[in-house]
Amino acid sequence: MIEAQQLTKRYGEKTAVDGLDFVVKPGTVTGFLGPNGAGKSTTMRLIIGLDAPTSGTVTVNGRRYSRHRAPLQEVGALLEARSIHPGRSAHNHLKALALTHGIPLRRVDEVIEQAGLSGVAKKRAGAFSLGMGQRLGIAAALLGDPQTVMLDEPVNGLDPEGVRWIRTLLQALAAEGRTVFVSSHLMSEMALVADHLIVVGRGRLLADTTVGDLVRAAGGDTVKVATQDPARLRDVLAGPGVDVTGRIGSEELQVTGLTAREIGLKAAEHGIALFELTARTVSLEDAFMDLTRDAVEYHGSATALETLGSPA
């Protein structure tokens, strides 16, 4: 479990993380989403104590990261910086890490196997492709068999087979009851792996929600209906939780609260001809853009005004 309370980080004038409150729960994959510069990496650095908050707190399993006696066994993290000696093999890199952190050496072979690095484990890490380096980073994160796994943009540089591997891995880790926190700026990718989403923009919390709720909030359950008799169809469809809108004189209606199937059946029951019945599917990408656009625009124009002074 990761808990942030009013977590804030400023770099001079820049507020990278701005009063974030969230909880990342065990047993599920939580996606950490936001456009570039939203504050995801900074938040992750704060979680594992690579940076200190300006104010607020963040704890892992009830304690600050630095207060854990064996932090690598508590939280396994993959952050962007690759700090592997290029002349060292993957095997030796992991072995050194295990030795300095009191992790049993058998874990080295286990994570090499788990990360699909068996064939290259003895090669110099300097010769690794971006994808291989990424797998090695993930192997290192899993080395201490941690209860909490936190990965910053883990699919960067991975090929489609690597992307599928990471998806399966994250879901398996969550199914084992671990806390899995994974950042991305791609909604499409998160939708496939995450159950829960924490969305940030300009350092602020924009949503703490499930994938389904995010789509619904963006109007994903609207059905467009074109009919010969809009007035009568409105009456037929009316009911609790149902909302029907449409311009006067138009044969088109927008319906929320009923599925296309339910609308079609009701119309048929009352002999009302339909010309069109389309469920408006909002893609997660659209929902995400909707959510983050406001934050970006708001701050964009505010910054522009600050820079330019009062408009003439």
Return residues touching ligand ATP (CB under 6 A).
Answer: 11, 14, 16, 34, 36-42, 185
CB nearer to ligand ATP: pick between 36 and 310: 36
Residue 120, token pair as written in the block? 């290259």
Minimum CB separation from ligand ATP for residue 137, in Å? 15
Regarding beta strands 148-152 and 75-78, do their DSSP bridges make them parallel or antiparallel, or are they unpaired? parallel
Q: Are 49 and 66 in contact (CB under 8 A)?
A: yes
Determine phi and psi for 105, rounding to 5 degrees: -65, -25
CB nearer to ligand ATP: pick between 51 and 195: 51
Minimum CB separation from ligand ATP for residue 175, in Å? 27
Rounded to whole angstroms, the Cα distance separating 255 from 154 reads: 40
Minimum CB separation from ligand ATP for residue 42, in Å? 3
123: DSSP letter: S
CB nearer to ligand ATP: pick between 276 and 285: 285
CB nearer to ligand ATP: pick between 37 and 49: 37
Q: Residue 202: how many CA atoms within 13 Å on its side-chain side?
A: 13
CB nearer to ligand ATP: pick between 14 and 101: 14
Minimum CB separation from ligand ATP for residue 298, in Å? 15
Determine phi and psi for 198, rounding to 5 degrees: -115, 120
Q: Are 56 and 7 in contact (CB under 8 A)?
A: yes
Minimum CB separation from ligand ATP for residue 109, in Å? 32
Rounded to whole angstroms, the Cα distance separating 136 from 142 reads: 10
